[in-house]
Amino acid sequence: MSPLIRLIHADSTNCTSRLPVLFMGGLLLLLAGCSTPRPATIQIDSAQYQDAFNAALEATRRLGMPPLVRDRQGGLIETRPRVAGSLADPWRIDQASLGQAMNNTLKFQRRRVRIEFLPSDFMPENVTDKGPLSGPAVPGSEQDRLVDRQLYEGTLELRVWVITERAFRPGQRFNAWTRLGNSYTRDPVQADAISDDPSRDRSNWTPIARDPAYEQRIISRITSLMEQDSAD
């Protein structure tokens, strides 16, 4: 066998042997991309709960999303949604990448934040078909201490969820040539209210994905504010 033929045979053998490795590597990347990311979390002591709660409120305010729900007993904060920045807003720096900014430019999207304070060992109870109803927690009981984060003693986990929502209008009819020719169908059975404001946003918002990069940004803001308070 000539040296050239041996070289070609060796190269083909190496490529064939690498195929399973490349296939497994691509499969692992695909599975990693399809897995749902966990929420951004930090561990705090129950003695830091009030400081962490206040820091979370301040962090969301500075990001332009003031809280709508502030439940200190249940350990829950939900914010007002804010429209995501796009390429038309160069002063907005809340984009993780150019692709995200492009996506927000082509689609009308907004973010909504949910912050939870849960015991670090929290596990949801199994739902059974039959069983007695225990009712709400009695004030001062052990169950009340588990529910009320202000009375809980132990390690708490602060979780941040940032949900991206996309706007759409039901019944939209697209024009094949220009967006100015788009129109919307109207349900004749469902009449509009007489006092309905024509400038009101009639869009429906649908959650489409989470924003892990923005979750980490909020976690960093909360941690920084807590460190500033402890230094003062």
Distance, in Å, from the CA atom of 49 to the CA atom of 64, rounded to the nearest integer, reads 23
With respect to residue 195, please indicate whether it lies within any of the assigned structural domains.
Answer: no
With respect to residue 213, please indicate whether it lies within any of the assigned structural domains.
Answer: no
* Residues 38-83 pLDDT 10s: 567 889 998 999 999 999 999 999 999 999 999 998 899 999 998 8
Total length of the chain: 232
Distance, in Å, from the CA atom of 41 to the CA atom of 38, rounded to the nearest integer, reads 9
**For residue 171, what are its two tokens?**
């019944």
Q: Which residue has the higher pLDDT, 143 or 206?
A: 206
Q: What pLDDT score was predicted for residue 7? A: 42
**pLDDT beyond 70 at 200:** no
With respect to residue 206, please indicate whether it lies within any of the assigned structural domains.
Answer: no
With respect to residue 156, please indicate whether it lies within any of the assigned structural domains.
Answer: yes
- Asked if 107 contacts 154 with a C-beta cutoff of 8 angstroms, the reply is no
Number of domains in the chain: 1
- Asked if 190 contacts 171 with a C-beta cutoff of 8 angstroms, the reply is no
DSSP 8-state assignment for residue 180: G
With respect to residue 174, please indicate whether it lies within any of the assigned structural domains.
Answer: yes
Beta bridge partners of 173: 183
* Residues 206-224 pLDDT 10s: 899 899 989 999 999 999 9
With respect to residue 53, please indicate whether it lies within any of the assigned structural domains.
Answer: yes
Which residues are within 8 A (CB) of 34 and not within 5 positions of it... i.e. 6 or more apart?
A: none
With respect to residue 108, please indicate whether it lies within any of the assigned structural domains.
Answer: yes
Query: Of 222, 218, 214, 215, whose CA–CA distance to 95 is shortest?
Result: 214
Distance, in Å, from the CA atom of 88 to the CA atom of 126, rounded to the nearest integer, reads 48
- Asked if 165 contacts 110 with a C-beta cutoff of 8 angstroms, the reply is yes
Global confidence as pTM: 0.66
With respect to residue 203, please indicate whether it lies within any of the assigned structural domains.
Answer: no
Q: Which residue has the higher pLDDT, 144 or 131?
A: 131
**pLDDT beyond 70 at 14:** no
CATH code, 49: 3.30.530
H/E run at residue 27:
helix 3-34
Q: Which residue has the tokens 């489409």?
A: 208
The whole domain housing 104 covers: 41-122+139-180
